[in-house]
Structure 1
Amino acid sequence: MVRGVRAVVGVAVVLPFLVGAASGVDAPGRPVLRFQDPDVVESSGLALVDGLLVTTNDSGDSGRVFAVDPATGETVGTTSWTPDPEDVEALAPAGPGHVWVADTGDNQRRRGSVEVLRVPVGRGDVVASPERFELVWPDGARDAEALLAHPVTGQLFVVTKGVFAGAVHAAPLPLLSDRPNRLVEVAEAPGLVTDAAFLPGGGALVLRTYTNAHVVAHPSWESLGWWELPPQDQGEGLTVAGGELWLSTEGARSQVLAVDLPPAAAAADLAGPAWSAWRWLATARGLPL
């Protein structure tokens, strides 16, 4: 794992002032919508797909996701499937008209492998037979409530939820549906991560806990700072909407809140791809990193 500030033209100018720059930007939440559907009672994951806000209930629900009109909070489409999942905890964008559904929860640490499903979403009610992919933990069962999908490569990352610390695990690329896919630990994570999302350029991501948001560079996985989120009873969901984060919480008719992303996060999002390009060029030419 690569650490430290890079002395790279066009990147070193940005990275030094990012560390800690996002800290202390305590953001009051602005209401975006209130879920109107009485079946949305434990919003645990969020994803924006084709202008619709997709959410899913926490553990104990059947296999289904809800497509919500952000202008009204009304559910305009539901996708359901069988068999029912064990414990759905997160969503991530999976291309036009689809989301990744993370059946990765495991409070009792009993599951040596978990599952992600690529589920179609949109307006109208659909019964689907989604693609399923088994993910195998490298060193025993873990509880995970956050799923990331890189916006450029499509690679999936699962973030475990430890009390004091967690870990980011990378899935193989491409995923295979006919055999288990072994996860590889690639980075540390804060404790009690409940959701996560990449920024649009793929050069940075945000990990949320019940109380804070953490900005992390990609592909270095360096922490760039954190700030406090507005209070929510059980803050679980997170998605990126332009220059904002949208946040959901469990509870019937719960409200989705918006907070602004710090400018440093957008700068990191641009710096990440620049560093990736430089690293590839330097490796190809045998230059020191």
Structure 2
Amino acid sequence: MLDRVLGVAAALSMVVGATAAPAAPRAAVVFSFQDPAIVESSGLVVAGDLFLTVNDSGDSGRVFVVDRSGRTVGVTSWAGDPTDVESLAPAGPGEVWVGDTGDNRRSRDSITVLRVPYGERDQQVTPASYELVYPDGAHDAETLMADPRTGQLFVVSKDVFGGTTYAAPRRLSADHPNKLRAVAEGFAFATDGSFFPDGKHYVVRGYSSAAVYSFPGHERLASFPLPSQDQGEGIAVGADDRLYLSSEGQSSEVLQMRLPTAAAAAMQPPAPTPTPTPTPTVEPQAAPSGDDAEDEPLWPWLLGGGLAFAVGAGWLLRRRGQAS
């Protein structure tokens, strides 16, 4: 009997949870990766009509360049075995930042970012490499973002109970470790993130949801569910502010979706408050005095003087009549 009660309770909780959960937004399939070598698409960057991605940990150092049909049109490779590549971020025309930032055991003394050129061709390069160090010990991170206006890099740690957003120095040095600086609370269990083209907002995703933040204030403006994916990892923002989502797995799909209406509205600046028209103030007038006093009206004096003259003239006429 108890088992039945518990089973019914569990079923009811699932129904209630499904009913209360917001519906996932609509998304369209852009393409499926055709390259059998792309098996764990982790980071994602949109560069015009091209899509850049990297495999999760365990792959060699390489970036895949894919067109809108899903066909790989170029691979940039470099020597050496990365520790755990997890993320990508735009680095300017023809270049992309590769984040070797994964650290599941939280045991790395530092993480690495590489500035890698790409193109519609296969090439072997020696990318510029920069070492980053957290100010508060090791963290696992799968999110690397670049401010489109300044190029400054940001790393968001992947923590179950809320990550941290770290800022890298604006000018990175290849000669010594670059110390990261904690600037804001991050998205819990973040798997990727991207700035919007305006440079005033960015989005960070997890496996099933995402959130939009203001920049440079790092204020969380809105959160929203994402379309169902086997293991949603990558997110990128296109020039049209549309979101592109990737997932791990061979022949996985890249999805495209618009930002939900509520999230888009939260990103709009507040409407200006109309300036109230001041009410004119009437100053009380003091009683006139001295030279500043207004002229008194003359008609009472004229009326009084005329009446006195008429009375006096009548009296004189009567006196003359009596005398004669």
Q: Same fold (TM over 0.5)?
A: yes
In structure 1, which of residues 199, 207, 214 is the aligned counterpart of residue 211 of structure 2? 214
1:74 aligns with 2:67: no
- Give a deviation string over 1:166-192, Cα, whole Å, max 9, x none: 000000011111111000000001211
Q: Per-residue displacement from partner, 1:67-98 (whole Å, max 9, x unpaired)?
A: 0001x100000000011110000000000001
* Aligned partner (choices 186, 190, 193) of residue 193 of structure 1: 190
More strand as a share of residues: 1
8 Å contact from structure 1 (residues 68, 75) kept in 2: yes
| 1:101-125 Cα distance to aligned partner (Å, 9 max, x none) | 0000000111121000000011010
Of 5, 18, 33, 2:31 maps to 33
Are 1:164 and 2:161 counterparts?
yes
Greater C-alpha radius of gyration: 2
CA contact (8 A) 1:138 1:183 kept: yes
Report Cα offsets for 1:107-151 as digits up to 9, x if no partner.
011112100000001101000100000000101110000001000
State the AA in 2 paired with 1:56.
V
Equivalent residue in structure 2 for 1:154, among 148, 151, 156: 151
Cα distance between partner residues in 2 of 1:149 and 1:261:
20
Q: Which residue of 2 aligns with 1:103?
A: 100
Percent of pairs with identical residues: 54
Question: Do the aligned partners of residues 173 and 267 (structure 1) sit closer, same or farther apart at CA in structure 2, a change above 3 Å counting?
Answer: farther
Q: Following the alignment from structure 1 to structure 2, what is the Cα–Cα distance between the partners of residues 98 and 190?
A: 27
Q: Specify every segment of 5 or more residues in structure 1 that has no aligned partner in the other structure, as ranges.
A: 1-22, 273-289
Find the partner of 2:236 among 239, 242, 247. Answer: 239
Aligned to 2:86: 89
Offset of 1:51 from its aligned partner?
2.6
**Greater fraction of residues in helix:** 2
Paired residues, what number? 249
Task: Give the direction of change, closer, same or farther, for the CA distance of 1:266–1:202 in structure 2 (3 Å limit).
Answer: farther
Who is 1:252 aligned against? 250
Looking at both structures, which has the greater relative contact order when contacts are Cα pairs under 8 Å and sequence separation is at least 6? 1
Q: Which runs of 5+ in 2 are unaligned?
A: 1-20, 271-324
- What SS is found at the alignment partner of 1:60? coil
**Secondary structure of 1:226's aligned partner:** strand
Moved more, 91-100 or 24-33: 24-33
The letter of the residue matching 2:97 is W
**TM-score when normalising by structure 2:** 0.74
1:181 to 167, 178, 181: 178
